[in-house]
A = this chain, B = another copy of it.
Amino acid sequence: MSHNTFGHLFRVTTWGESHGPAIGCVIDGCPPRIPLTEADIQPWLDQRKPGGSRFVTQRQESDTAQILSGVFDDGDGPVTTGTPISILIRNEDQRSKDYGEIARAYRPGHADFAYQAKYGVRDHRGGGRSSARETASRVAAGAVARRILGDGVQIRAGVVQIGPHRIAPEAIDFDAVPGNPLFAASAEVVPDWEAYLDGVRKAGSSIGAVVALEATGVPAGWGAPLYGKLDTELAAALMSINAAKGVEIGAGFGAAELSGEDNADEMRLDLNRQPVFLSNQAGGVLGGISTGQSVTARVAFKPTSSILTPRQTITRDGEETDLRTKGRHDPCVALRAVPVVEAMAACVLADAFLRHRAQVG
């Protein structure tokens, strides 16, 4: 990962600010002859799209992905050519609001102060480069990554905790995620969670959440020790998502309370004399290499810092002030992170597949 590029062989470079003319990404290293059109990308973007429910920002964006390169139709339909795939997404709702205040004052909990401290300048409009809007590029790249992985690898994520409300591990049901506006990994919790989140929203407040991830169908052998471990790459990719504050693989922090007996996943042979594990505390990764079990991870997201209550802060000019974030905001940014978590995992896995194929054939 280097600044605005991630991946080693499946490399994604993203660019663009929240309120510039467009955002986008360039995907390099994609294998050739993979059928690909905008229709393969758009459904994933539609999932992440703002404006879909009252629980996410009301910014209006069609988030239409346009492929500008790297795909060619030689008669049998558009396929990747092995050259860079450039994807462009226009920004449409660059609301002409007055940015005077946040141009001047640093929003607490936002990247404003840090960008200014680093660069001495920042595009303050809507968060500029640090806006969650950039994650649309990740989702587009993830759609391409899924095409590389094929149907054998299934990647799913869902919200498993909002504030104090948790879904018990055994109740997690990723099939429930597409059917509810909260991306909750359980249909049962939705009414309660909606009520809870409506309360947060109406109070002009916000709340954190945890997203769980599961990738099935990952064969044993992906990941490259010691610094390109599959779990290391996943941790980096997931932690790079806006508002992420923690990443766990398998048992995660729970492993700190486990004994060696409980933690080590025992092995037997199945009826076909293939290896099976009797548990999955490891989250499908041992020594940084996939084992053939499901790869599981969890990501903690902080609440958005854009809230209606005035907060103490300072200005660029060195004055103390109080700031209240006006306008649209997400009561729980983690909801829209669900497709992003999936996308980042898809990119990491596609990259791991290519790297493994390179070294081992």
A17 and B69 contacting across the interface, CB-CB below 8 Å? yes
A70 interface hit (Cβ, 8 Å):
yes
A72 interface hit (Cβ, 8 Å):
yes
Asked if A226 meets B129 with Cβ closer than 8 Å, knowing A121-B74, A266-B108, A303-B259, the reply is yes
B264 and A311 contacting across the interface, CB-CB below 8 Å? yes
Of A22, A70, A109, A221, most B-chain CB atoms within 10 Å: A109
A360 interface hit (Cβ, 8 Å):
yes
Give the chain B neighbours of A103 by CB distance below 8 A.
74
A209 interface hit (Cβ, 8 Å):
yes
Cα-based distance from A26 to B22 in the complex (angstroms): 13
The 6 closest A-B pairs by CB, nearest first: A111-B287, A109-B264, A358-B358, A206-B260, A114-B289, A236-B236
Residue ID in chain B nearest A127 by CB atoms: B287
Q: CB < 8 Å: which of B79, B130, B220, B246 contacts A246? A: B246
Give the chain B neighbours of A358 by CB distance below 8 A.
9, 29, 354-355, 357-358
Q: Mark A217-237, 1 if CB is under 8 A from B, else 0.
A: 000111111111101110110
Q: CB < 8 Å: which of B33, B81, B122, B291 contacts A81? A: B122
Give the chain B neighbours of A318 by CB distance below 8 A.
269, 273
Give the chain B neighbours of A33 by CB distance below 8 A.
119-121
A256 interface hit (Cβ, 8 Å):
yes
Asked if A72 meets B122 with Cβ closer than 8 Å, knowing A4-B83, A128-B83, A253-B210, the reply is yes
B31 and A305 contacting across the interface, CB-CB below 8 Å? no
Cα-based distance from A335 to B163 in the complex (angstroms): 32
B281 and A302 contacting across the interface, CB-CB below 8 Å? yes
- How big is chain A's contact interface, by range? 35 or more
Give the chain B neighbours of A11 by CB distance below 8 A.
2-3, 5
A164 interface hit (Cβ, 8 Å):
yes
A24 interface hit (Cβ, 8 Å):
yes
Give the chain B neighbours of A251 by CB distance below 8 A.
245, 302
Cα-based distance from A69 to B30 in the complex (angstroms): 24
Q: Pull 30 A–B residue pairs with CB atoms less than 8 Å apart, ordered by A.
A: A4-B83, A4-B226, A9-B359, A13-B28, A13-B84, A15-B86, A17-B70, A32-B360, A74-B121, A81-B122, A108-B265, A109-B264, A109-B265, A118-B220, A163-B257, A200-B259, A205-B259, A208-B263, A209-B256, A210-B253, A227-B236, A233-B236, A245-B250, A246-B253, A248-B253, A258-B302, A260-B304, A261-B309, A266-B312, A275-B314
